[in-house]
Amino acid sequence: MTRPSLPRIVCLVPSHSETLAQLGAHLVGVTRFCTVLPGVEEGAIARVGGTKDPDVARIVALEPDLVVVNREENRIEDVSELEVSGLKIHVTHPRTVQEGIEELRDLGELSGRAEEAEWLARELDAGLERLRQEAIPVARVFVPIWRHATGSYMSVNADTYAHDVVRVAGGVNVTASAESRFPDVSIDEVFEAGLDVALLGDEPYHFAERHLAEFEAAGIKAALCSGEDLHWYGPRSVEGVSRIRAKLREVVSEVRPA
């Protein structure tokens, strides 16, 4: 049962909603994309629109003590409207796996669940340290996050969370040095980068089996993976890195057999 003294929270970030639910925070509103809510019964929390189109009036009516948003997930105009309505906003922007763990601690403090958050963060810190001690498969990786109608792809540079997941997993992000955080890259430029694999996640763009053929037709090895493993911070972050590492190890064994 929710403790009455806990602050009322609306969260507009799916990965943070999962974190807050696991910590036992008093969530009163989440987006329609916040589908992973451990320990929360279906229908127990109000749905307040999407990450890009939240129902501001509904959020205000819920009288939250705090609204959790993310600099990349949510639009600045929606956040500004919430602030003008007098609501307290917490803006997150973790760009590394370690920053994601520290953000979990911050959410614990803000939600009145600091003890639970510290316990979980220590578990994640220990798991991340174990990963750092393992031998890693070094692979050159392309990480598309969107496919344009023109056939080009949006990727990520070194100042992004997905880049750090790939780095910790043992990958070398071939678009790391791009000036834009989300550079557009043609299939020819991807090929010329000389990579081992293109990792195709299922979010934010839903890459699927049919997209593998596009890369393979261009002479590029491609593999499907979970977008949550690449982009979600919080309780599943270390497991996500571990799964990406396993995927890279599998690819390296195929393209560079012993």
Return the CATH number at 111.
Answer: 3.40.50.1980
248 and 144 inside one domain: yes
Question: Strand (E) positions, the chain?
Answer: 8-11, 26-30, 46-47, 66-70, 89-92, 139-142, 146-147, 153-154, 171-173, 184-185, 197-200, 222-224
Q: Residue range 158-165: average pLDDT?
A: 97
Residue with tokens 């600045």: 76
Integer Cα distance of 86 and 35 in angstroms: 27
Give the model's pLDDT for residue 1.
44
* Same domain, yes or no: 123 and 16: yes
Strand (E) or helix (H) holding 228: helix 227-231
Averaged pLDDT for residues 212-229: 94
pLDDT for position 4: 54
How confident is residue 138, by pLDDT bands cut at 50, 70 and 90? confident
What would the mean pLDDT of 227-236 be, rounded to a whole number?
93
Of residues 235, 72, 250, the one with CA closest to residue 161: 72
8, 26 Cβ separation under 8 angstroms: yes
pLDDT at 36: 87
pTM: 0.91
How large is the average pLDDT for residues 20-42? 92
The answer to whether residue 1 is domain-embedded is no
| Domain C-terminal end among 130, 159, 193 | 130
Q: How many CB atoms lie within 10 A of CB 224?
A: 16
Q: In percent, how much of the chain has pLDDT > 70?
A: 97
Residue-range definition of the domain harbouring residue 201: 136-255
Is there a domain that residue 143 lies in?
yes
Provide the pLDDT for residue 38: 87
Average pLDDT (5-18) is 96
